[in-house]
């Protein structure tokens, strides 16, 4: 069965520090992976997506993620956190049929000054 596991439900960093949000997946077929972000009281929006074209994927707002097949991971990083990055982040896996997306439980990122 396909699944997504986000390690750590809450991550706290200082402004300017490295952001690292961890995601591991399980899939018997080559996966399509995404990161979505949800700002307080809003819907979700796409940060970036991996579709096998390149293992290092760049997204909006300075975020990037690296696909590592050997580790079944798709961790999200940003070199320097901003206060505006405080939000909930979801790692997402497309299902095998290509009809729906499977969401991780989410990681809340807090940024302190």
Partner 1 sequence: NAGVTQTPKFRVLKTGQSMTLLCAQDMNHEYMYWYRQDPGMGLRLIHYSVGEGTTAKGEVPDGYNVSRLKKQNFLLGLESAAPSQTSVYFCASRSGTFPGELFFGEGSRLTVL
CA angle 105, 13, 64 (to 5 degrees): 65
Query: Residue 74 corresponds to which tokens in the numbers above?
Result: 């798709």
Smallest gap from Cβ 45 to partner 1, in A, equals: 7
Q: Give CA separation, 112 vs 9, 41, 47, 79, in Å.
A: 17, 20, 22, 15
Q: Which strand (E) or helix (H) includes residue 65?
A: strand 64-68
Name which of residues 21 to 40 contact partner 1 (CB under 8 A): 32, 34, 36
Nearer residue to partner 1 within complex by CB, 7 or 44: 44
Q: Does 90 bind partner 1 (CB under 8 A)?
A: yes
36/74 with CB nearer partner 1? 36
Q: Strand 44-50 to strand 56-58: parallel, antiparallel, or no bridges (unpaired)?
A: unpaired
51 binds partner 1 (CB under 8 A): yes
Residue 94 interacts with partner 1 (CB under 8 A): yes or no: yes
Residues forming contacts to partner 1 in the complex (CB under 8 A) are: 9, 32, 34, 36, 41-46, 49, 51, 90, 94, 98-106
């Amino acid at each position: 069965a396909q699944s997504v596991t986000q390690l750590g439900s809450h991550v706290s960093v200082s402004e300017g520090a490295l952001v690292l949000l961890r995601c591991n997946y399980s899939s018997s077929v080559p996966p399509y992976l995404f990161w979505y972000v949800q700002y307080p009281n809003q819907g979700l929006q796409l940060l970036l997506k991996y579709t096998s074209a390149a293992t290092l994927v760049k997204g909006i707002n300075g975020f990037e993620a690296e696909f590592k097949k050997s580790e079944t991971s798709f961790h999200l990083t940003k070199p320097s956190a901003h206060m505006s990055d405080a939000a909930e982040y979801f790692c997402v896996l497309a299902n095998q049929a290509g009809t729906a997306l499977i969401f991780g439980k989410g990681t809340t990122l807090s940024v302190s000054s």
